[in-house]
């Protein structure tokens, strides 16, 4: 394996550290967290600051993430082909289902939300684009783990946190769920991630028949479930949407 550039790896580690820590971090904290000399950390931070990737509070001297990350992150969305193709279909799905729609792709150890359509009512909702969801408990995550080998490996390696009483963390049982997901072409999340919240998701394929993402809806269990199971018409709507997006991406329907 070829060698990567040291200063870049360290800069990336700093950005992730700043993203993880709740509030701003001081230079000494950053240096000791990464095992670097203060001067080394300072040189990297100075450059990152000059480029807009980190900002420094003038008063305390502490560092936090910079605005350029927001600008570039938004640009990533603009270029994202899957997201662009899905935009039309997800709006329809939100309207027909009456629930919030999420579009996610595999990123590192979880699902990165790249598109989010609000539930079509006037309630206050926060945009979750850019947020991460776990692989083992969410509908989007199970779909990706069942259809993308890389996602599956990530799920096996990850520590599977129990979020609610219904969260499945044992690998054997999860594998059986993934087999079922592959067989029926969709996955559900019945209060396994959040109490009172259920979800359905289906995979999106590209022209090489590789899974490139997943689309699904999420809503209060009282609305999206009946007799403890996801309502069939919602499952059908989600699967139709996934198929439509796949076809837009060039996947053959047979």
Using the rule CB under 7 A, is 250 a contact of DNA? no
d(CA 237, CA 253): 17
Nearer to a copy of itself, 43 or 98 (CB): 43
Nearer to DNA, 5 or 79 (CB): 5
Residue 53 interface partner, choices a copy of itself, DNA, none, CB cut-off 5-8 Å depending on type? a copy of itself
Using the rule CB under 7 A, is 13 a contact of DNA? no
Using the rule CB under 7 A, is 21 a contact of DNA? no
Nearer to DNA, 166 or 207 (CB): 207
d(CA 45, CA 10): 10
d(CA 232, CA 109): 30
Using the rule CB under 7 A, is 74 a contact of DNA? no
Residues lying near a copy of itself in the complex (CB under 8 A) are found at 2, 4-5, 7-9, 11-12, 15-16, 19, 23-24, 43-44, 46-48, 50-53, 64-77, 79, 91, 105, 107-108, 112, 114, 120, 122, 124, 127, 129-132
Residue 74 interface partner, choices DNA, a copy of itself, none, CB cut-off 5-8 Å depending on type? a copy of itself
Nearer to a copy of itself, 68 or 175 (CB): 68
Q: 13 exposed, middle or buried (CB, 10 Å; 0-12, 13-18, 19+)?
A: middle
Q: How far is CA 211 from CA 88, 149, 184, 196, 204, in A?
A: 20, 9, 15, 29, 6
d(CA 55, CA 66): 5
Residue 121 interface partner, choices DNA, a copy of itself, none, CB cut-off 5-8 Å depending on type? none
Using the rule CB under 7 A, is 10 a contact of DNA? yes
Using the rule CB under 7 A, is 245 a contact of DNA? no
CB-based contact 63:24 (threshold 8 Å) = yes
CB-based contact 215:202 (threshold 8 Å) = yes
Please, what is the Cα angle at 118 between 230 and 134, to 5 degrees? 60
The residues binding DNA (CB under 7 A) are 2-3, 5-8, 10, 26-29, 36-40, 42-46, 56, 59, 61-62
């Amino acid at each position: 394996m070829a060698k990567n550039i040291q200063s870049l790896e360290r800069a990336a580690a700093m950005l992730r550290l700043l993203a993880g820590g709740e509030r701003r971090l001081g230079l000494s904290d950053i240096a000791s967290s990464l095992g670097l000399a203060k001067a080394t950390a300072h040189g990297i931070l100075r450059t990152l600051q000059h480029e807009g990737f980190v900002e420094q509070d003038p008063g305390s001297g502490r560092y936090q993430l910079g605005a350029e990350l927001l600008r570039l992150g938004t640009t990533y969305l603009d270029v994202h082909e899957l997201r662009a193709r899905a935009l039309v279909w997800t709006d329809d799905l939100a309207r027909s289902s009456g629930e919030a729609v999420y579009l996610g792709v595999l990123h590192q150890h979880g699902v990165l939300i790249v598109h989010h359509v609000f539930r079509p009512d006037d309630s206050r909702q926060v945009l979750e684009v850019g947020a991460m969801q776990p692989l083992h408990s969410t509908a989007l995550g199970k779909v990706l783990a069942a259809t993308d080998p890389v996602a599956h490996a990530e799920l096996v390696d990850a520590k599977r946190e129990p979020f609610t009483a219904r969260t499945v963390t044992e690998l054997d049982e999860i594998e059986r769920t993934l087999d079922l997901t592959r067989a029926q072409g969709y996955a559900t999340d019945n209060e396994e991630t959040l109490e009172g919240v259920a979800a359905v998701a289906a995979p999106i394929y590209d022209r090489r028949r590789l899974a490139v993402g997943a689309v699904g809806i999420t809503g209060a269990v009282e609305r999206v479930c009946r007799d403890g199971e996801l309502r069939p018409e919602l499952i059908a709507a989600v699967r139709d949407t996934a198929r439509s997006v796949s076809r837009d991406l060039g996947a053959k329907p047979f």
